[in-house]
Amino acid sequence: KAAMQVLTDGNYIEQVKNKEAILLKELQHPRIKNIHTAGLWAALEFEDFNTNHKVIQQCISNGLITDWFLFAPECLRIAPPLTITNAELTEACRRIVFCIEKALA
């Protein structure tokens, strides 16, 4: 109950909306079929699991921790902490796009 009170009393909801906008702006690539977001949770949808797996492996080798959804293996999972800064989030998004380019070139 106390944790929910902190979240609702602060401006966290506005901060999360702003960070979600960063995800939507920065995660642009022709190989991404769709982006599904719910706050800072995101799923990048690719053509199939093999494409997604290549991107995930590239992300891991570039210091990003991610995986796929069991119910949607074609989707790369993004779930940064709520405390991530805008600059850190932008950098993470740029790394993901770089990894997409490198994995699928």
3-class secondary-structure state, position 45:
strand
Chain segment 9-45, per-residue pLDDT in tens? 767 888 999 999 999 999 999 999 999 999 999 999 9
CA dihedral 91, 93, 99, 105 (to 10 degrees): -120
pLDDT tier at 82, thresholds 50, 70, 90: confident
Number of Cβ within a 10 Å radius of residue 71:
6
For residue 54, count CB atoms less than 10 angstroms from its CB and return exposed for 0-12, middle for 13-18, buried for 19 or more: middle
How many CA atoms lie within 13 Å of 2's alpha carbon, on the beta-carbon side? 0
- For residues 98 and 105, the model is more confident at 98
**Does the pLDDT at position 62 exceed 80?**
yes
pLDDT tier at 7, thresholds 50, 70, 90: low
